[in-house]
Structure 1
Amino acid sequence: MKVLILGGAGMLGPYVVPVLQHDHELLVTDITPLTIEFRGEFRHLDVADAAGVLDAAKGMDAIINLAVLRQDRQLAFDVNTLGCYNMMCAAVAHGIRRVINTGPHFTVAGPSYESFDFGLNPDMPAQPGTNLYALTKGLGQEICRVFSTEHDVYVQTYLFYNFYDPSNLPTERTRHPRPFAISWQN
């Protein structure tokens, strides 16, 4: 399968690319160079560049969006929201039916997620609050939802809690508490 990875040089890319390269033909894109060796092609690409994303998606079977920007207002919107829109437009234009989008866990329940671990379900509306990162990623998730409703595109969204470099794991003293637990009925 030919897979386009957007934002492949970020926190997730160096772990995702080595796993996928054995079974898939990869085109990895980012605005910064990928620092690992891999089998595939690297292309300098800003996800806010609609024509660039459209061109990169040509001939692909799937798209994985790992792109993220957190602090700067304009860049966060360009990467997290507009970049997601560009990805979905490219998927529709090229008939790409498989898309994976990523984001933070708090796009679902905003800052209140630490106050409870019940009542979270797949049908609850997103409540990212006013955090810039969560809000712009939440808008990207809504874009994916609308496109998958209106077009023949299947989107999986993976929401993550925290990432740690395996060589620099937190100690007991610095470890964050788990904000919620996954459970099931007995």
Structure 2
Amino acid sequence: MRVLLTGSSGWLGRYLAPMLQAAGHECVGLDIVPGAYTQIIASVADRTAIDQAFADYRTEAVIHAGALHKPDIARNPAQAFIDTNVSGTLNLLEAAIAAGHDRFVFTSTTSLMIRADVRAGKEGGAQQAWWLDEEFGPLRPRNIYGVTKLAAEHLCRLYHELHGLDVAILRTGRFFPEDDDTHSEPSGENLKANEFLNRRLTVEDAARAHVTALGAAPGMGCETYILSAPPPFGQAEAAALIDDAPAVIARHFPDAADIYARRGWTLPPYIDRVYDPSKFVRHTGFRFDTDFATILNALQSDGPLPYAHDPDYVSPIVRR
């Protein structure tokens, strides 16, 4: 299948494109900056360029992973988010319908689920961890990034209803390699390891999930899925995660505290949100390669950490 991949020069795209090729697909990359897997230099907001790309390459499906993200808020006006994340998605949907595509995979974000009270967490008075699955709501995104990604999700649903296009909406958790822009403690690698308990996945798992969604989309309808490493906890532990996360972690991983201590790391004192990817696993049979147990095994054996950490990583959009 010939697949148009937007965002092909980005962090996800550089992993996803070769996985598509390995799965037997022809990947046509589109991005505003050059990259190893990018054939078309254009913005999704440019409808003429999108129509030309569809005419030139006669693609059969779209994976729309290109977007402006939260860090881009500091360097772009709100209109740029609307042009790229909303109008760009509309351009692709309309072109896909005109080309007779039967599937569309949209990379969304769990960020749009983090309204003000969820973000406040324990400091805001939460009595238990927020359990974030696809039924969570109401959704009230807290910034222009979340607002535009939610609007794009609604466009995907509308075009499914109007035209029968099967759509997989993938709300991805964190997989960026750079340090968190809002937390300096614990250290970058330690923080990322902790997040595999509740809100992170590897970029490799994120890419593999997109390939899986592409194959599963026909007949799906329009479905929304959360992508994050499977948490070790059950929803019945939500209150305990707020009160004493290390005690809950110890029930599942008795050696975790000692393994962490040998590296000088710290476990989170509380966990106030948990992303639940079980719907995607149930619907597609997907299995995540990396979870918190994988992290502990790597630490225990002094092996390489199974996730990317690069505090100096800079997005290609910023470097251009």
TM-score normalised per structure 1: 0.83
1:48 aligns with 2:45: yes
Q: Tell me the CA shift for residue 26 of structure 1.
A: 1.4
Structure 1 unmatched ranges of 5 or more? none
Q: Which residue of 2 aligns with 1:27?
A: 28
Question: Aligned partners of 1:44, 1:95: CA distance in 2, in Å?
Answer: 24
| Greater C-alpha Rg | 2
- Contact 2:45 / 2:83 at 8 angstroms: preserved in 1? yes
What is the total number of aligned residue pairs between the two structures? 177
- Contact 1:53 / 1:90 at 8 angstroms: preserved in 2? yes
Deviations 1:13-61 (A, max 9, x none): 0110111123111110001001x3x5xx611111001121122234211
Q: Which residue of 1 aligns with 2:149?
A: 137
Residue 107 of structure 2 aligns to a residue whose secondary structure is strand
Q: Which residue of 2 aligns with 1:82?
A: 87
AA of the residue aligned to 1:150: L
Identical-pair percentage: 25
Q: Which residue of 1 aligns with 2:61?
A: 62
The correspondence of residues 161-180 of structure 1 with structure 2, limited to 5 A, is 161-165=173-177, 170-172=188-190, 177=195, 178=198, 179-180=273-274
Deviations 1:138-186 (A, max 9, x none): 11111101111111211101111111339xx9321565643314287xx
Q: Which residue of 2 aligns with 1:9?
A: 9
Deviations 1:89-110 (A, max 9, x none): 1111111111100121022353
Question: Aligned partners of 2:9, 2:98: CA distance in 1, in Å?
Answer: 25
Q: Which residue of 2 aligns with 1:122?
A: 134
Structure 2 unmatched ranges of 5 or more? 122-128, 179-186, 199-272, 279-320
- Contact 1:27 / 1:42 at 8 angstroms: preserved in 2? yes
Question: Aligned partners of 2:104, 2:277: CA distance in 1, in Å?
Answer: 27
Task: Between 124-133 and 3-12, report the one with greater CA deviation.
Answer: 124-133
Q: Tell me the CA shift for residue 10 of structure 1.
A: 1.5
AA of the residue aligned to 2:61: A
Deviations 1:111-140 (A, max 9, x none): 44454433x453555614231111111111
- Contact 2:51 / 2:95 at 8 angstroms: preserved in 1? yes
Q: Which residue of 1 aligns with 2:232?
A: none
Residue 130 of structure 2 aligns to a residue whose secondary structure is coil
Cα gap change, 1:17/1:48 in structure 2, threshold over 3 Å: closer, same or farther?
A: same
1:157 aligns with 2:169: yes
* Larger proportion of helix: 2
AA of the residue aligned to 2:50: V
Question: Aligned partners of 1:176, 1:64: CA distance in 2, in Å?
Answer: 30
Residue 151 of structure 2 aligns to a residue whose secondary structure is helix
Q: Root-mean-square deviation (CA), in Å?
A: 2.5
- Contact 2:133 / 2:275 at 8 angstroms: preserved in 1? no
Cα gap change, 1:174/1:152 in structure 2, threshold over 3 Å: closer, same or farther?
A: closer
* Larger proportion of strand: 1
